[in-house]
Amino acid sequence: LSTDSSELDDIVLPFRPNPRSKAQQALKKGLGPLADTIEAQEVEEGSLEELAEKYVGTSSTLKTIDDVLAGVKDILAERFAYDESVRSMVREFGYDEGFFEVIPRNKKDRQFTAYRGKMISPEDLSPEETLHLLHAEDKKQIRLKHGVQLFMITEFLREHFIYNPDSIGFDIICQAIDDCWTRLLQPVVERYVKSRLKERAEAWAVNQISKALDTEADEQGKSGPILAVGLTGKHDLTIVTISDEGHMLGATRERIKRPDQIPFSNRIRQFYTRHRPMSVLIIENEFADVAEAVTKKSIDEGANGPAIIRQKSDEQKSDLPASEWMKEKYADLDDAMKKAYAAGLLYLRPLSIIPLVGTRFFRIHSLQKYVTEEALAKLIVRKITEQALHKGIPALEIGNSVLREFPGVTEEIIGEIRREAGREPFTVKADLRRVKGIGEVVFANISGYVVLPAAPSILDRITVHPDHFEWVTAMAEELNISVETLVQDPDQLHGVSSDDPSRKIYIEKKLINQLRAGQPKLAQPTAQQQRRLRLHEIEEGSIQSGRVTNITPFGVFVDINAVCDGLVHISQLADGYVESPEQVVSVGDKVDVRVIKVDAKKRRISLSMKNLGPRGKRISPTKAQLSTLADHFKER
């Protein structure tokens, strides 16, 4: 079964011939039997003219033998061109052995001088070069002509179609082959080669844009709100505040008096105080200098104030203020406010809004002109989705997230999640199972992406799937570290031994990134951190993450979020000999400890730092040891 468009065309082409083609017209004149005889290549005696003479006069247009032979040649050329295997072979031949010639429409156009007089192999064209040339051809700047060495292709076709060179039709078959290539096959091959190169180049361009969007998506939401300020005429001040996600936070106008004296703007000050923008964008026009001076005077925070940015000249020409999206969504804004808001959007380039507005209004990447607007919009939506899923979706926000598009996630289930969370907050991802309507399939589909910010376990706060909790915990134990430490340094998973190649791939491609994305969640307070663990809740033998609170000559105390601190005796601080605890830790250090014993009656927790982590704790020498070593070398 074929899904390739070229192969499908090859299959159906013989069944849908062009009724106005030369070959079909010749067949209507009754020249089919003569073409069959010549194509069979069985007649070796006599002459072709004798066979053709019988058809002279059978049609008003068949007045001479040459007329008959011309019609036969047209029939043979079309038959050869319709041969499915030949079409497939010549396409590949044209790609592998063909070349391009760049013919400028304007001979004085210097941007194509480097290609003049050259035959360029398709494989020698870089993806960017390919896109540039195809784009130039679309704009009628050049003719990108594909060709092959004629003797090579004709020999290739003759070898396929001629098996009796002694037949009386040999010459006309050769003529039909030449005509078949130049008139029928060559345009097909040129379209195929260009289409294949374009597909490859566009895939490269999409990949380049995708990489750039990955970086941009990571930075989205970090710039903070901006204030767009513009002066229309000498007295009309326009002020618009925009969130870093592109949403309008406020818009107003203010009429200023005596702009030559740089007045103070109460509205600018109010908007700045209310929204605390990190940047101020000055709309570029003949009054931009005055607008900037008024803004600086009104904010008056010196070096601690927001960055003042001038609108780029190319963004002034944008059609965004007049876009259908702007007209529909912000019809109540006047033209000056629309221009200020549009300037802010062009500066921020918020990915969540760009597909709604239209990618053509934004400068996203230097290669975007080579990618269709629809393809670029889909790519941006995919990046937004990936970013949201990468960070995780809080359970109560499922209804406003991409998870609502997942199979099986209905409005009823979303409502049940809200109601169930209102009755009893979710503390572990498995709590989603108690929601009415969530079966095993829906749970398996969404639970990895759902995060519970206040959950006691770090694994419930990040995007690791519940099916992998036991596996992740086991790997942490194999590495002799806590799960929290594994999240803090997921690269330690490279040291995990596994005979299962699929698990190795999953660790490298997915799990490490999931753990790394969860690092910000380590600093978030949880319900368990607000409530100290009771002694009976601490499991002996478990590895806990804690912080050093005190150092004594006999050991160190560590806070593991229990009702009392645990003690790591000096003999349990490291695998080697320790003279002083300061050699190993300092107050405030975050450490992994193993719970050796919990004595509820004496309210004691005995801890150990031995055999934890992939490498033993490095022991720093004490001052006394350094002095002894120095004295030793002095006496030598």
**pLDDT at residue 325 in the model:** 94
| Range of 225-229, 475-479, 557-561, 597-601 with top mean pLDDT | 225-229
User: What percent of the chain lies above the pLDDT cut of 70?
Assistant: 93
**pLDDT at residue 616 in the model:** 46
In angstroms, rounded to a whole number, what is the distance separating the alpha carbons of residues 360 and 317?
A: 13
Give DSSP secondary structure letters for 369-428.
GGS-HHHHHHHHHHHHHHHHHHH-EEGGGGGGSGGGGSTT--HHHHHHHHHHHHHS---S
**pLDDT at residue 132 in the model:** 94
Q: Look at 172-176, 286-290, 378-382, 543-547 and tell me which has the smallest mean pLDDT.
A: 543-547
Question: How much is the average pLDDT of 322-330?
Answer: 92
| Cα within 13 Å of Cα(514), Cβ side | 25
Q: Which residues pair with 99 in a beta bridge?
A: 147
* pLDDT over 90 at 259, yes or no: no
CB burial of residue 394 (10 Å; 0-12, 13-18, 19+)? middle
**pLDDT at residue 530 in the model:** 56
* Averaged pLDDT of the chain: 87
* pLDDT over 60 at 154, yes or no: yes
255 Cβ partners below 8 Å, 6+ apart? 235, 236, 237
* pLDDT over 90 at 617, yes or no: no
E strands of 43-147, at which residues? 99-104, 142-147
DSSP strand pairing (555-559 vs 566-569): antiparallel
In angstroms, rounded to a whole number, what is the distance separating the alpha carbons of residues 100 and 102?
A: 7
pLDDT-derived band at 587 (thresholds 50, 70, 90) equals confident
Query: How far apart, in Å, are the Cα atoms of 438 and each of 313, 413, 416, 592, 598?
Result: 54, 7, 9, 37, 40
Q: Measured on CA atoms in the order 13, 15, 16, 22, is the torsion positive or negative?
A: positive
Q: Look at 40-44, 83-87, 531-535 and tell me which has the smallest mean pLDDT.
A: 531-535
**pLDDT at residue 618 in the model:** 53
Burial state string for 117-134 with b = 16 or more CB within 10 A and e = fewer than 16: eeebebeebebeebbbbb
Q: How far is CA 381 from the centre of its chain?
A: 9
pLDDT in tens, 49-85: 999 999 999 999 999 999 999 999 999 999 999 998 8
* pLDDT over 70 at 630, yes or no: no
pLDDT in tens, 287-310: 899 999 999 999 987 778 889 999
pLDDT-derived band at 573 (thresholds 50, 70, 90) equals confident
* pLDDT over 50 at 513, yes or no: yes
pLDDT in tens, 101-149: 999 998 888 888 888 889 999 989 999 999 999 999 999 999 999 999 9
Q: How far is CA 390 from the centre of its chain?
A: 13
**pLDDT at residue 29 in the model:** 94
Query: How far apart, in Å, are the Cα atoms of 242 and each of 303, 309, 342, 347?
Result: 22, 15, 10, 11
